[in-house]
Amino acid sequence: MSVRLTQLLEEMTPQERIEVEAFAAFLIVRRQLKQPQLLTNDISAQELTELVAASGSFDWLDAEDEDIYFLADGEAVQWPSP
């Protein structure tokens, strides 16, 4: 391992080191894939949508704290005339 990489790792928090370790593992697995296109091409848009919905990644959008705008807010859009 390079001296610079060692220095950077020593400056990181334990959580940051875990993230670096996970990313390094990802890079090694990605290199070993014989068909990298499988990562994106073998899942339909419907399956991807279901996966994202089930993951909870966008649950914050349903939070009441996010409802800060109302229909009466702002102004009507004025489109430029041709």
3-state secondary structure 28-43: HHHHHCCCCCHHHHCC
E-assigned strand segments in 7-57:
none
Which amino acid is it at 16?
Answer: E
Above 80 in pLDDT, residue 55? yes
Residue 26 sits at φ, ψ, to 5 deg, of -60, -45
The Cβ of residue 20 has, within 10 Å, a number of other Cβ atoms equal to: 14
Do the Cβ atoms of 51 and 58 come closer than 8 Å?
no
Mean per-residue pLDDT over the chain, rounded? 83
Between these two residues, 27 and 67, which has the higher pLDDT value? 27
Per-residue pLDDT averaged across 42-59, rounded?
84
pLDDT digits (tens, 9 = 90+) for 1-25: 799 989 999 999 999 999 999 998 8
Q: What is the pTM of this model?
A: 0.39
